Structures are given as C-alpha cells and as structure tokens.
Chain A
Amino acid sequence: MSLDFRHKPGLVVYLTTGDPDVESTREIAIAAIDAGADVIELGVPFSDPLADGPVIQRASERAVARHTRMPDVLRVAKEIRAARVQAGLVIFTYLNPILRYGLSKFVDDAKAAGADGVLVTDLIVEEGGEYLAEMERAGLAPVFLAAPTSPDERLEAIATHSKGFVYAISRVGITGKQQSLTADAESLVGRIRRWSKLPVAVGFGISNAEHVARVGEFADAAVVGSAIVELIERSTPEAAPAAVARFIKCLRQPQAALTL
C-alpha cells in the first residue's frame, strides 16, 4: 500500500473508471496488478477532458454517459485495495469533479478507500494551496505533472510539493500515441532529478515495449494510458482483463530478455 516501484522499470497503468463499466474497471485493474503493474491510476471520467487525446476522450465520454460518478470511482478504489494490498493506487482526475464533490470530503473518502495519492491534471502547484493542505491532513500523496516546457523554477516547486513520485510528461502535447520518444523526456527527467529524490515516472505516448525499455534507461517508471484504454475499447468486457494482462507482460518483454 504505497507508491513503490518494485519492478525496474516500474509500470503505472491508467484506466478510465467506468469504461466499459465499473466492475470491469476493477477486474482490469486487478489483472493489471497481477501482470506486473506497480501503480494503478484510476481515472475519474470528465465531460471536458482538455488534456486528453481522442482515445481517452472517447473513454471518458462513454463513462460519463453511463453515469460513472465519484462515489463509483472511490468504491472501485476500495475494492482494488481490498483485493491487492500491495499495489499503488492514484486517483487521476480533473479538478471540477473534486470541487463539486467537496475537497475535504474527497480527500477523506479517497484515503478511506485506500488510495495512496491523487493527480489533478488541471491543477498547477501555485493554485494548489488548499488542496495541498487537505492532502497533507489526510496523508495522501499529491502527484504533480512536470512538462518539458516547465522552466527550472517551476520544476523546483513541482518537485518540492509532489509526494510518491513526479509525473514527467514525455513530450509537449496531449495524451495519446506517438511513434518514438522525443529527447524532451530524458532531458526533463534529468532536470527533475536536480530538485528531487522522488522516483520519476514518464507518461504520455508510451505504448510499446520499446518505449518502456527506453524510459527505463533514464526514469523509474513508465505510465501507459491511451494504449491500454484503446485495447479495452476494442475488447469485450469479459475479454478485457486478460487482454490487458497480456499487453502488460509484453510491455516488459525486452526488459525480461535483458535480465536473463
């Protein structure tokens, strides 16, 4: 029950809760953990996901249409926690659903559900005063995003106020696939390490074993989101957990070959 990366490199798996349905999200998360995911980012679906590319937009739209609500997300978190005590669990959300639910109530309920941390996509450090105080009170880890465009003084603030890990955005852009990693990611991780001893996870556009292996050369973990959400989109609810588990094992294959 912590944000440790037991594998090298660690793997963070993003899921949009409620796509295709909340029960499936729980089963997929458990399958992902068993296949080697260190941390699950449990996404709260939002009607206007402006940091997301088409794949996660579509998943959010489906989940919102099914009336997936914050209490559903927290219930899934609790069930995952009960089933897999060791896995890291981060609630991944836009700010408005938290504000509507109530910030204090949200951090209390997220903590009670067994979450380790929270990542709010559209909350920068400067606007996070009250949020940080509440997270501290509840004993939850705030995870902030760091971008290739962030100047050093911003990275310092991001690193100082993050707990658990720092999420480095691999390239300038929204979530979704890319062919290969740009040089942005490695240089960003290097800059973050000047300010922080926390593990650094690299996300956005990580979709295959080659990307994961490459990230492993300079960061502590890779975050895989759109690729898995798209796989779920193409699978039936019954087949999705096994399909995601297979995919996650494949993501680690070059690494397995290297350690033999």
Chain B
Amino acid sequence: MASVILPSAPSESRPGRFGIYGGRYVPETLMAALLELEHEYELAKPDAVFQQELDGLLREFAGRPTPLYFAKRLTEELGGAKIYLKREDLLHTGAHKINNALGQGLLAKRMGKKRIIAETGAGQHGVATATVCALLGLECVIYMGDVDMERQELNVLRMRLLGAEVRGVSAGSKTLKDAISEAMRDWTTNVRTTHYLLGSALGAHPYPTMVRDFHRCISREMKQQILEKEGRLPDAVIACVGGGSNAIGAFYEFLQDRDVRLIGVEAGGRGTELGQHAARFQGGVPGVLQGTLSYILQDEDGQIAQTHSVSAGLDYASIGPEHAALHDSGRAEYVSQDDAATMDAVVKLARTEGILPALESAHAVAECMRIAGTFKPHDILVVNLSGRGDKDMGIIARELKL
C-alpha cells in the first residue's frame, strides 16, 4: 500500500494529476479501497498472465481488433477529407465500454471482490459490466438515473437478462451524475466486499488513468491500421466526450504526434444557457465533483448545474480530468454539436454507409460532417464510432417521426 504523502508535496507532482486536474477528492472511508485498487492495478499492469488473459478476452470475447473502415460514400458526399471510422460499435455489447469492463472485471477477481457495482448513463457501460459479471461469475448491481432508464429501456432489459440488478436513481436530475453519486454511496457502505467498476475516465485516482489505459487499444490499433492503409497518420481524430473514456482512448497514442489534431465533441444539447447543454468547456469552471478536479457546469454558488443532451451518455456536468488538462494545454480541441445536428448525423451515416451510430457517437459524426469540406482530398479524418445506435431507436423514431 502506498504511504501517505504529506500535504507539503505540491499537488501537481503527485500521481493521478493531469496538470492541476484530477486528484482524489473522496470521503476518507473510500481511501483504503482506492489505495488497494491503485496498488493492485500497478501489480497487474506488468503481469504477463493478467495481460494475456485480458488480451485473449478482448480478442476472442469482445472482438478486437475492431476495423478501421473507409467511409467511401460519406467521403464523397461531404467532398473533402477522406473519412475513416474506427468501428468500436462492432464490439460485443455494442460499444467501446467492454474494453474497460473486462479490464476492471479481471482486476476485481484478482482482488477477491465478488460483488460489482457500476453506474450507467446510456446503459452501454451497464450492459458491458453486466456482461463481464456474467462471464466471470460476479454479482452485479447497476445504478441508473430514472430518466435514463426510461430513454434507454432496451439496455435496462439487456442488463436484467444478463443477471444484473438495475437500481433506479430518483435523486437530482435522475441521470448519469446521480447514478455515480448513488454508486459511490453503495461503495462507501460495502467497500470491503465490493469493487466499483467506474465506466468513464472520471472519478478519483486511479480511475481516470486506469480507464484510459484499458481504452488505449483504440488509438494503438487506429495508428497501426491507418499506417497500413495510408502510410501516414491522420490529420485529425474526432471523438465524442461525455466523461471522456472513448475520446481519451482514441487520442492517447497520438498525443506526441503534434500534427494530428485531436477533436473532442461535447453535447451542445438544445441551447447555450446553463442547463440546456453538457458542453463543459463552454461555461464550465474548474471545481470538484465525484472525486476529481475538472471543469464543471455549476452555478455561482458551486451547486452542480442540470445538463441536457439527447444522448444519455454525454449528459454529465463534469469531464474527465485528463481532457481538462489537454484543453488547457491546447493539445486537444473541444467543440460541441447540438441535438439537431446529431440527429442529422444519424440519418446521414445510416443512409450513406448503412451504419446506425449511437447518439453519443453521432456527435462526433456531426463534427466530422461540419469540418470535412474544409480539408483537402488527401487529408484524413478518423472518427471514433464508439457505439451502435440500436439502443436509441425509440428516441430516434420519436425525433424523426419514423
């Protein structure tokens, strides 16, 4: 177990910090578990047996590597850069979330924790967690806001079929933020027997680092695949950002490649006033929520603001701390796309490529549609298509009056 670093140490130099962001802001009761998790993760990382088991499951069970697909018709329609889609939507359970769920599931097994809890917004992380628990024979409880349970009902049913107990959360905005708080309360109460399988690059150290590492395979494959196909790196990588797990996974291996633009797309919702969107870099200010220091949409008293997005997975008031640092350093750019542009992107991708993207991922597609025409024909854009849209058919049908 790591020894206690006394508070004279400057916070920026400590593990779990991304610039000034990140850290560990939790009730003391959770500290022993966080230190145990950090310790166990550090042991597992260089452990060949652990990595082999994880790689095997990612390959045989989840379906990695995922294809890097050249979207020919979309490219022609938009008339600019060549567009490639990283097909995380083809993974088992339908989104990138399974990468991290498998990693942490194996870690929980190593730690001898037999009970798993998780939060979920869009339900993709909940489904991935329930799937891994079924695979590994672990008890599974998923917290999900009442609003999200209603709008992502299909995923609620999938989780139940997989043997998970789905607990609705009726507090606050009844969305992802409230599900995380409730999961943290459960963890605080059952910390001796339970692993909290956090699903985004959020929360207290070591979660943002660990979740990123489990998703690094996305950019590692992307890089290798684009070099094979094009013999060079892309001009930009585009990914949607809720908590930021798929985006950090898609960005990470390109951080040192300064010529590759990294573009994170937040949820613009239905307006620019506080409460109508989830664009943390447009109106958010640094603060502490749910264990980490990052940009937060909040009012002048430090109360966390309500957010809105058509996509449950991006509907969150804070953002992963590493994104906050990448924003401040300028290494990544963050833009937003609103609900309407997202719906247009769903239709466009469905009808040009025969691919139904998740509403979350459609935000990245929308940004690609906006900027593709500003590039030259030999330029390359890679969109991380983080999930598939079957779960969203109810919302899509209603919005588009299908």
A-to-B contact residues, CB < 8 Å = 46-51, 53, 57, 61, 64, 67, 69-70, 94-101, 121-130, 132, 144-151, 153-154, 156-158, 161, 169, 172-174
**Per-position contact with A for B1-37: 1 when CB-CB < 8 Å, else 0?**
1011111111100100000000111111111110000
Identify which of residues 274-290 in chain B touch chain A, using a CB-to-CB cut-off of 8 Å. 285-290
A99 with B7: CB separation less than 8 A: no
23 pairs, CB–CB < 8 Å, chain A vs chain B: A46-B303, A48-B177, A57-B171, A67-B301, A70-B301, A96-B289, A96-B296, A99-B286, A100-B302, A101-B301, A124-B25, A124-B26, A126-B4, A127-B7, A127-B11, A150-B32, A151-B1, A151-B32, A156-B4, A169-B28, A169-B29, A172-B29, A172-B188
A130's nearest neighbour on chain B, judged by CB, is: B11
Residue contact B301 to A158, C-beta cutoff 8 Å: no
Q: Are B189 and A146 in contact (CB under 8 A)?
A: no
Instruction: Tell me which residues across on chain B come within 8 A of A123, comparing CB atoms.
Output: 25
Given known contacts A69-B301, A123-B25, A126-B24, A95 and B288 CB-to-CB distance under 8 angstroms: yes
Partner of B302, one of A101, A148, A173: A101
Q: Contact: B32 with A149, CB < 8 Å?
A: yes
Residues of the B chain whose Cβ atoms lie less than 8 Å from the Cβ of A98: 302
Question: Please, which residue of chain A has its CB at the minimum distance from the CB of B303?
Answer: A47
CA distance A142 to B215 in the complex (A): 39
Q: Which residues of A contact B9 (CB under 8 A)?
A: 129
List which B289-342 residues lie within 8 A (CB) of chain A. 289-291, 296, 298, 300-304
Question: In the complex, which residues 154-207 of chain B have their Cβ closer than 8 Å to any Cβ of chain A?
Answer: 171-172, 177-178, 180-181, 184-185, 188-192
A235 and B46 alpha carbons, distance in the complex (Å) = 59
The residues of B that contact A147 with a CB separation of less than 8 Å are 27-29, 31-32
Q: Which residues from 184 to 236 on chain B have a C-beta closer than 8 Å to any C-beta of chain A?
A: 184-185, 188-192
Closest to A46 in B: B303
Inter-subunit contact B7/A50 (CB<8 Å): no
Q: Which residue of A lies closest to B185 (CB)?
A: A174
Distance to closest chain B CB from A109 (angstroms)? 14
Given contacts A97-B302, A129-B10, contact A50 B185 (CB under 8 A): yes
10 smallest beta-carbon distances between A and B, as pairs: A100-B302, A129-B7, A97-B302, A147-B29, A173-B189, A149-B32, A50-B181, A47-B303, A51-B27, A145-B28
Contact between A128 and B7, CB atoms less than 8 A apart: yes
Choose among B4, B7, B288 the residue that contacts A122 (Cβ–Cβ < 8 A).
Answer: B288
B-chain residues with CB within 8 Å of residue A132 when the two chains form the complex: 7
B contact residues around A153 at 8 Å (CB): 3-4
Query: Beyond A51-B27, A128-B7: 20 further Cβ-contacts under 8 Å?
Result: A46-B303, A64-B303, A96-B287, A96-B298, A99-B287, A99-B288, A100-B285, A100-B301, A100-B302, A122-B26, A127-B7, A127-B24, A129-B7, A129-B9, A129-B10, A144-B28, A145-B27, A149-B192, A169-B29, A173-B29
- Residue of B whose beta carbon sits closest to that of A72: B301
**B31:A96 contact, CB within 8 angstroms:** no
B interface residues, tally (CB under 8 Å) = 49
Residues of B within 8 A of A174 (CB): 185, 188-189
CB proximity of A82 to chain B, nearest CB, Å:
24
Distance between Cα atoms of A257 and B283 in the complex (Å): 59
A48:B304 contact, CB within 8 angstroms: yes
| A54 CB → nearest B CB, Å | 9
Task: Select from chain A the residue with minimum beta-carbon distance to B7.
Answer: A129
Q: B1 to chain A: which residues have CB within 8 Å?
A: 151
Chain B residue numbers with a CB within 8 Å of A124 are: 24-26, 28, 31
The residues of A that contact B192 with a CB separation of less than 8 Å are: 149, 172
Bound-state Cα–Cα, A50 to B259, Å = 42
**When A95-B288, A129-B9 are in contact, do A48 and B181 touch as well, CB less than 8 Å?**
yes
Tell me, rounded to whole Å, the shortest Cβ–Cβ distance linking A201 to chain B. 14
Give chain A nearest CB distance to B293 CB in angstroms.
8
Q: Which residues of B contact A125 (CB under 8 A)?
A: 4, 6-7
Kindly provide the distance from the CB of A146 to the nearest chain B CB, expressed in whole angstroms.
6
- Output the nearest chain A residue to B302 by Cβ-Cβ distance: A100
Q: Identify the closest chain A residue to B177 (Cβ).
A: A48
- Inter-chain CA distance A90–B293, complex, in Å, is 24
- From 343 to 401 in chain B, residues with beta carbon under 8 angstroms from any chain A beta carbon are none
From A57, which residue of chain B is reached at the shortest CB distance?
A: B171
State the Cβ distance, A216 to closest chain B Cβ, in Å: 23
